[in-house]
């Protein structure tokens, strides 16, 4: 008897049956734009092999003006159809089903010549859109239908029409972006005509036996977004227009409320899908921050939805469904919703991958094979770099011994998981523990590796991590000065007024740790209150009239940096704004361009700029050092002096800008070659 009877139940759509209730949601990977369609095909085929019920591709433009950026992949020509056929054939050969998302970005298209309902520029794009005239609207609608038909010719099992997240169809739906006074604007009936026509024409183009998903925005998270009556009206009209399934989306990209970041509670918006489900006759899909089979099962069992969409979890682990079905859920590499290697890459024009799974989108080039000659390998340090290297090497058949000085596995991941909003790191550490045990790594905790202990191994991997940098400020050894490790690991007492030296990722983390009380991430109602989210049946767009209502901060905190740039500028592209917003809600004072003159028992003497102007005492009880890190190379140096050639990875290799993404990638790639 499976633990996941609802998740693994087939879904009969009449003309076809999906083998289970799991949809791999659309993600733009930038793979298609590289033109290597074998690589695109292998990315999707691996997920099909992993047992997912239905895959939806990244958004494909129906025309040049609708692409998310100039040159974005689409389905315009016979050559495009042939390229996509490589993908669909490979997915079908693995027993999978795949639908192509048709995405017209409208005013979110990052290029000149983008189009929209009205000429209302998006705050997240420098390009003002051209307002479509009647002929332009007809062309856009026909292009949806043409793209759907081309997808059918290319062998897809269906299409998903993207109607949420603030893209073109959404732009027609709400007054925020639709200021028209003709038959496509004004009343809601007029504003929803574009959405309905896109579905009607697409259905007419593909016939009845073809999956047509419409992704509807359940909550725009904009003051002038749709209200719930409008959402229901649209959902019913879309069903009548011929949609097979309703997928759901939350929030426009320009909304300043997070919807998928790690600090958003799991399944934070599934209550909305549950409200919709009884109102339409076609299956409804729930999405956003769902990353385990247990949660998927719970949502299906409690009637929140007919299917569950997960996107990033399929980057983290292509075998998500098969592992769950085989009773091996603990082996599923968890998506921690960090965005670091997926969305941050996509928005920086880089190829998507995954922090926990560097093979994602690299399936054709990173394939650790069984080792021809098993070796004995010592790995020193059980942080992300060492763990990844140890597991990969052991999986290849090597005899691996992992030395860890502390009593636990995880390294700096154990610091990250102390931070409110970073609870997902718990799952990652648990997964590493499971995989270390299953892969047969011999683990020696509480064991300081020495050159003597390491003698005789065929290969030595040094993953000893980093040591905190001491900034060299006069008075920094005083009793009122502590390091981030003292605060996060040793929980030393911290006063009510605190100065944090260093505003990198760790400075931000420590500021959240010191100001946020109970984590809103584990309490959906508390999180909604914190960010000002309410039921769109009560207030248009789901925006609470009073705005965010965060709890009072636990302490008064100053976050300091010497650089004159905006603090947090170098945090993740898609998540930095969330960390800044949280600190603003907690009234943290972020000061840039400061000099640290000296520390006394009364606090920290600061001055400004190159001329050290306006020296002033910041009267604080505690000063926390978060001034970056240096490689911990002492063991590597000893081994090298003895003539050995250890492999040095992770922070022990390069500490600057070290994060788990680089550490894991380096660990896996090294171990794949030994
Ligand atoms: P970091 O990002 O390099 O930041 C170090 C901070 O210390 C900077 O604000 C720097 O600013 C300051 N600093 C450097 N040298 C200093 C000195 N001699 N005296 C005083 N201040 C000094 O390092 P981190 O915060 O330790 O983070 C380490 C890595 O973990 C980073 O790559 C970070 O992105 C990653 N991380 C990521 C996250 C995340 O959410 N993704 C969270 C935590 C950590 P000034 O030089 O301008 O003063
Ligand atoms: Fe999930 Fe982070 Fe991997 Fe993206 S990079 S798929 S958010 S774990």
In order, the DSSP letters of 123-147 are: TT-S-PPEEP-HHHHHHHHHHHHHH
Cβ atoms within 10 A of the Cβ of 486, count?
17
Q: Give Cα 325 to chain centroid, integer Å.
A: 25
Residue 617 sits at φ, ψ, to 5 deg, of: -85, 125
Mean pLDDT of 6-29: 98
Same domain, 252 and 332: yes
Tokens of 555: 């302490």
Cβ atoms of residues 286 and 308 within 8 Å: yes
| Residue 656 CA to ligand 1 centre (angstroms) | 8
Domain that holds residue 656: 376-467+630-673
Any ligand 2 atom below 6 A from CB of 316: yes
Q: What is the pLDDT of residue 655?
A: 84
Judge whether residue 132 has pLDDT over 70. Answer: yes
Residue 62 falls inside a structural domain: yes
* Residue 359 in domain: no
307 and 386 both lie in a single domain: no
pLDDT of residue 525: 97
318 CB-contact burial (10 Å; exposed 0-12 / middle 13-18 / buried 19+):
buried
CATH number, domain at 186? 3.20.20.70
Q: Do residues 247 and 213 make contact, with C-beta atoms less than 8 angstroms apart? A: yes
Q: What confidence score (pLDDT) does residue 566 get?
A: 94
Task: Kindly state whether residues 579 and 497 are assigned to the same domain.
Answer: yes
Nearest CA to ligand 1 atom 31: 657
Evaluate whether residue 370 is within a structural domain.
no
Q: Is residue 84 part of a domain?
A: yes
**Entry pTM:** 0.96
Structural domain count, the chain: 3
In this structure, the answer to whether residues 201 and 181 fall within a common structural domain is yes
Percent residues over pLDDT 90 in the chain: 95
Q: What percent of the chain has pLDDT over 70?
A: 100
C-alpha closest to that of 268 among 529, 622, 655, 528: 528
In a domain, 502, yes or no: yes
Bridge partners for 137 per DSSP: none
Nearest ligand 2 atom to alpha carbon 315: 6
**356 inside domain:** no
657 pocket-lining for ligand 1 (C-beta < 6 Å): yes
Tell me if 502 CB under 6 Å of ligand 1.
yes
**Does any domain span residue 368?**
no
Domain end, chosen from 610, 627, 644, is at 627
Confidence class for position 78, pLDDT limits 50, 70, 90: confident
**What confidence category does residue 35 fall into, taking pLDDT thresholds of 50, 70 and 90?**
confident
Q: What is the pLDDT of residue 1?
A: 85
At 57 the pLDDT is 97
Residue 213, helix vs strand vs coil: strand
Rounded to an integer, what distance in angstroms lies between the CA atom of residue 617 and that of residue 628? Answer: 24
The CA-CA-CA angle for residues 153, 159, 165, to 5°, reads 145
Supply 459's token pair: 């290969």
Q: Are residues 161 and 44 in the same domain?
A: yes
Judge if 504 and 421 occupy the same domain: no
The enclosing domain of 441 has a CATH number of 3.40.50.720
Query: With helix as H, strand as E and coil as C, how does 65-113 read?
Result: HHCCCCCCCECCCHHHHHHHHHHHHHHHHCCCCEEEEECCCHHHCCCCC
Nearest atom in ligand 2 to the alpha carbon of residue 336 is: 8
Q: Are residues 385 and 451 in the same domain?
A: yes
Please write the tens of the pLDDT for every residue from 549-607: 999 999 999 999 999 999 999 999 999 999 999 999 999 999 999 999 999 999 999 99
Specify if 116 maps to a domain. Answer: yes
CA–CA dist 477, 366 (Å, integer): 47
Q: Which residue lies with its CA nearest to atom 34 of ligand 1?
A: 505
**Among 331, 347, 363, residue at a domain's last position:** 347
pLDDT bucket at 659, cuts 50 / 70 / 90: confident
Residue appearing with tokens 């959902």 = 235
Q: What is the mean pLDDT of the chain?
A: 96
Query: Looking at ligand 1, which residue's alpha carbon is closest to its atom 15?
Result: 627
Where is 229: in which H helix or E strand?
Answer: helix 228-241
Q: Over range 308-330, report the average pLDDT.
A: 98
Q: What is the pLDDT of residue 168?
A: 98
Q: Quick one: 335 and 406 in the same domain?
A: no
Which residue is catalytic, options 144, 167, 432, 596? 167
Query: Looking at residue 153, what is its pLDDT?
Result: 97
What's the gap between Cα 274 and its chain centre? 24
Q: Which atom of ligand 2 is nearest to the CA of 334?
A: 8
Co-location of 392 and 410 in the same domain:
yes
What's the pLDDT tens digit per position in 408-431? 999 999 999 999 999 999 999 999
Range 23-41 average pLDDT: 94
**pLDDT tens for residues 351-374?**
999 999 999 999 999 999 999 999
- pLDDT attached to residue 151: 97
pLDDT attached to residue 77: 85
Render pLDDT for 153-193 as a digit per residue (tens, 0 to 9).
999 999 999 999 999 999 999 999 999 999 999 999 999 99
pLDDT(658) > 80 = no
What average pLDDT does this structure show over 470-474?
96
The ligand with the least distance to the CA atom of 599 is 1
Helix/strand/coil for 594: strand
pLDDT band at 611 (very low <50, low <70, confident <90, very high): confident
| Residue 432 a catalytic site member | no
Half-sphere exposure in the Cβ direction for 440 (13 Å, CA): 10
Nearest ligand (C-alpha, residue 316): 2
Q: Are residues 502 and 445 in the same domain?
A: no
pLDDT band at 466 (very low <50, low <70, confident <90, very high): very high
Q: Report the pLDDT value the prediction gives residue 246, as an integer from 0 to 100.
A: 98
Q: What does the pLDDT look like over 383-402, one tens digit per residue?
A: 999 999 999 999 999 999 99
Same domain, 240 and 205: yes
Condensed to tens digits (0 to 9), the pLDDT of residues 519-550 reads 999 999 999 999 999 999 999 999 999 999 99
Q: What is the pLDDT of residues 492-520, one digit of tens each?
A: 999 999 999 999 999 999 999 999 999 99
Do 326 and 412 sit in the same domain of this protein? no
The domain spanning residue 577 has which CATH number? 3.50.50.60
- Looking at residue 334, its pLDDT comes to 98
Cβ of 333 closer than 6 Å to ligand 2, yes or no, is no
Q: Is residue 663 within 8 Å of 388, Cβ to Cβ?
A: yes
Report the range of poorest mean pLDDT among 216-220, 558-562, 657-661.
657-661
Write the pLDDT tens digit of every residue in 256-288.
999 999 999 999 999 999 999 999 999 999 999
Residue 339 in contact with ligand 2 by CB distance below 6 A: yes
Helix, strand, or coil here: 554?
coil
Is the shortest distance between the CB of 355 and ligand 1 below 6 Å?
A: no
| Domain termination residue (choose one: 347, 368, 391) | 347
CB of residue 503 inside a 6 A radius of ligand 1: yes
């Amino acid at each position: 008897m499976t633990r996941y009877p609802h998740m693994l139940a087939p879904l009969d759509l009449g003309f076809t049956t999906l083998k289970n209730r799991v949809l791999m949601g659309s993600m733009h990977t930038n793979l298609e734009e590289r033109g290597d369609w074998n690589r695109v095909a292998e990315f999707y085929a691996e997920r099909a092999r992993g047992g997912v019920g239905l895959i939806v591709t990244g958004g494909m433009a129906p025309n040049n003006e609708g692409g998310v950026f100039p040159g974005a992949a689409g389905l315009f020509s016979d050559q495009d159809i042939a390229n996509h056929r490589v993908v669909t054939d490979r997915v079908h050969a693995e027993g999978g089903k795949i639908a192509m998302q048709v995405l017209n970005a409208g005013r979110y298209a990052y290029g000149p010549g983008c189009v929209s309902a009205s000429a209302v520029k998006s705050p997240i794009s420098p390009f003002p859109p051209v307002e479509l005239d009647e002929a332009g609207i007809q062309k856009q609608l026909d292009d949806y239908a043409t793209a759907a038909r081309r997808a059918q010719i290319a062998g897809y099992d269906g299409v998903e029409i993207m109607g949420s997240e603030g893209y073109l169809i959404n732009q027609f739906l709400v007054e925020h972006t639709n200021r028209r006074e003709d038959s496509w604007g004004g009343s809601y009936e007029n504003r929803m005509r574009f959405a309905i026509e896109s579905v009607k024409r697409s259905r007419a183009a593909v016939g009845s036996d073809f999956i047509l998903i419409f992704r509807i925005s359940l909550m725009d998270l904009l003051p002038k977004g749709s209200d719930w009556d409008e959402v229901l009206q649209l959902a019913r009209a879309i069903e009548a227009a011929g949609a097979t399934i309703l997928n759901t989306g939350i929030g426009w990209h320009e909304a300043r409320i997070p919807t998928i970041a790690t600090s958003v509670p799991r399944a934070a918006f599934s209550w909305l899908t549950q409200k919709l489900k009884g109102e339409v006759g076609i299956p409804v899909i729930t999405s956003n921050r769902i990353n385990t089979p247990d949660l998927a099962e719970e949502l299906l069992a409690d009637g929140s939805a007919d299917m569950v969409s997960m996107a990033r979890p399929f980057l983290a682990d292509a075998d998500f469904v098969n592992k769950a079905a085989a009773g091996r859920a603990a082996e599923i590499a968890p998506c921690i919703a960090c965005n670091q290697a997926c969305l941050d890459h996509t928005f920086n024009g880089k190829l998507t991958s995954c922090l926990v799974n560097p093979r994602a989108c690299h399936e054709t080039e990173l394939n650790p094979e069984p080792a021809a000659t098993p070796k004995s390998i010592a790995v020193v340090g059980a942080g992300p770099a060492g763990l990844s290297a140890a597991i990969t090497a052991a999986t290849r058949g090597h005899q691996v011994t992992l030395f860890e000085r502390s009593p636990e596995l995880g390294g700096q991941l154990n610091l990250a998981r102390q931070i409110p909003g970073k609870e997902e790191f718990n799952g990652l550490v648990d997964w590493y523990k499971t995989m270390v045990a299953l892969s047969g790594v011999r683990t020696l905790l509480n064991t300081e590796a020495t050159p003597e202990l390491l003698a005789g191994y065929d290969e030595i991997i040094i993953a000893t991590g980093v040591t905190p940098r001491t900034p060299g400020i006069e008075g920094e050894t005083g009793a009122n000065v502590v390091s981030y490790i003292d605060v996060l690991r040793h929980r030393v007492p911290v006063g009510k007024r605190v100065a944090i030296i260093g505003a990198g990722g760790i400075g931000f983390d420590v500021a959240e740790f010191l100001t946020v009380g109970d984590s809103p991430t584990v309490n959906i109602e508390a999180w909604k209150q914190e960010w000002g989210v309410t039921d769109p049946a009560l207030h248009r767009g789901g925006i609470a009239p009073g705005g965010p209502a965060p709890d009072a901060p636990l302490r008064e905190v100053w976050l300091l940096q010497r650089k004159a740039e905006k603090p947090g500028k170098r945090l993740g592209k898609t998540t930095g704004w969330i960390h800044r917003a949280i600190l603003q809600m907690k009234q943290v004072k972020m000061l840039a361009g400061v000099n640290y003159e000296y520390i006394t028992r009364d606090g920290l003497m600061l001055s400004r700029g190159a001329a050290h102007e306006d020296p002033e005492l910041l009267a604080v009880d505690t000063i926390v050092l978060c001034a970056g890190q240096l490689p911990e190379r002492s063991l590597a140096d000893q081994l090298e002096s003895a003539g050995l050639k250890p492999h040095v990875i992770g922070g022990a290799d390069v500490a600057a800008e070290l994060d788990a993404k680089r550490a894991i990638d380096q660990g896996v790639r090294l171990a794949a070659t030994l």
